[in-house]
Structure 1
């Protein structure tokens, strides 16, 4: 049942050992709500990037005030307020999905929410991680939301480069030229990137402070995680995610799944379609006035859709599943 909840915020850190070498690292987290006494299952929220930090997904805490859902936010290892491990920059064998799955399991067990049950929501890279996590059928996982998380990197890149080609010529040419030269820190490149962001990442003007904080996280430490796993930009993926795909594993997901993305999203419908085609129990909602962050752009509507999915047996509609899309 939907209900109002008073705000209760707890911050903490969990210290855990890295698989393999046993080095101790810290993961910072924040819990909005009461994990022990809530009538609703907790939601663990996974940010994107990789390496972006939790800041830009802060609106997900609305699910607590609106539906009574306790929400767990955390900075994945390698960014934000967690251990950065800059010594691992460029180590593609270290920065893998297995590391982040292990971290997520560590958070779940530290907060003691596995036995009762929990849900997972993930944005962008966090959505990719949520899908991988669910395909492993972890104990206690009930539902997941994959928010603008593509099912394979190849299709995602086709989408992004199509959007790049549709930009006004001066913006497109600046992005392409700077990218070829490796000049991604120049004022010209940053200005052109901002135009892409305002069209396909977050269409709220001006950009919210928490969104800007995430960009600052990436700017302060672009190499440790983002450069290693992704690459120099959204348009050129040369890190260890370049051949990433989950299409071959999506059929293993037994949890209930909600897919969300925006009409103007850099994660276009075709990049989400693999999830829809392979997951047995899936719903899909496209937010018509949004891009990559509908939880900012259509905040109230987004929380209503996600909240009803989390606390109810299923959504009452789906506006994408049986349609075909051009890339």
Structure 2
């Protein structure tokens, strides 16, 4: 399968991207927006399987992450939703596909995708929101509920280190792993592509710690008050919601998308948590692929 890699200049920075498939196929390409904020494209790599039918699938590492420009000295005023929306716009124009394209965003990527879609950008054909909350208030409420279902010893460890500010210790990370194996990725041991993303966050946690916080459920970063709920009615393209039965993005966190987007459908993967594209890859690619084909 044809693969093209390159860099798109974004102001003073560089956005690394990879195109899998045929850019000249005539089908609108798919942009895949990774999560975090602060992850890399690696853990959503399986979506390149959607290129088998001829469609170009475009992965990229958001600035601050992976193979794109790292900016370890930048603070909270720099890492904003607007910065990453403009980066996506820049990449679309750099690749010359403004006339027609699909967007799929996973977790934070879906939050970013919804922020992008409410502006009704030129050329957007459809949107897939995968495992994403519609507000961080809902996310935190549900994360706390899921935490309360963990073994008491694990809960106590998490609370102890969060109170002491020692969330970088191995004991805290081991406790986080218990949560992750229930609600983030239920494939154990963790697949290589997922492990690469977690390793990349450990190597440079600047974006993740600034916008999110030290863990999936201890959100103390700049996104802690984020919400898109009151703007979802503005999305004017078909939207597919996907999530997992055991997802940390619980039904309650996803429900506002279903309630407020005019043209929307929702598929829940019964054997998955936060990564149906890893946990039920074949079925996930079929569901997403059918949706894209229907809306080409």
- State the TM-score, normalized to the length of structure 1: 0.89
Structure 1 residues 215-268: Cα deviation after superposition (integer angstroms, max 9, x where no partner) = 01110111x211111122222222110110000110000011000100100000
CA distance in 2 between partners of 1:78 and 1:26 (Å): 10
Among 169, 174, 177, which residue is 1:194 paired with?
177
Structure 2 equivalent of residue 62 of structure 1: 49
CA distance in 2 between partners of 1:61 and 1:132 (Å): 24
Q: Is 2:36 aligned against 1:45?
A: no
Structure 2 equivalent of residue 73 of structure 1: 59
Provide the alpha-carbon RMSD of the alignment: 1.1
CA distance in 2 between partners of 1:292 and 1:180 (Å): 27
Q: Tell me: CA distance 1:312–1:226, structure 2 relative to 1, closer, same or farther (3 Å).
A: same
- The question of whether the paired residues in 1 share the 8 Å contact of 2:31 and 2:102 is answered with yes
Among 225, 235, 256, which residue is 1:243 paired with?
225
Structure 1 equivalent of residue 92 of structure 2: 108
- The question of whether the paired residues in 1 share the 8 Å contact of 2:103 and 2:128 is answered with yes
Structure 2 equivalent of residue 156 of structure 1: 139
Among 109, 122, 146, which residue is 1:126 paired with?
109
CA distance in 2 between partners of 1:174 and 1:39 (Å): 53
- The question of whether the paired residues in 1 share the 8 Å contact of 2:125 and 2:295 is answered with no
Q: How does 1:175-324 map to 2 (within 5 A)?
A: 175-222=158-205, 224-313=206-295
Q: Is 2:84 aligned against 1:97?
A: no
CA distance in 2 between partners of 1:31 and 1:247 (Å): 32
Structure 1 equivalent of residue 118 of structure 2: 135
CA distance in 2 between partners of 1:98 and 1:304 (Å): 32
Q: Deviation at 1:313?
A: 4.4
CA distance in 2 between partners of 1:72 and 1:313 (Å): 18
Q: Is 2:11 aligned against 1:29?
A: no
- The question of whether the paired residues in 1 share the 8 Å contact of 2:30 and 2:55 is answered with yes
- The question of whether the paired residues in 1 share the 8 Å contact of 2:176 and 2:215 is answered with no
Aligned length: 296
CA distance in 2 between partners of 1:109 and 1:45 (Å): 15
Q: Deviation at 1:92?
A: 2.0
CA distance in 2 between partners of 1:194 and 1:134 (Å): 33
- Of the structure 1 ranges 167-176 and 26-35, higher mean CA displacement relative to structure 2 is found in 167-176
Q: Deviation at 1:184?
A: 1.6
Structure 1 residues 247-300: Cα deviation after superposition (integer angstroms, max 9, x where no partner) = 011000001100010010000000001111110000001111000000010100
- State the TM-score, normalized to the length of structure 2: 0.98
Structure 2: where are the runs of 5+ without partners? none
Q: Deviation at 1:93?
A: 2.0
CA distance in 1 between partners of 2:226 and 2:122 (Å): 25
CA distance in 2 between partners of 1:187 and 1:239 (Å): 21
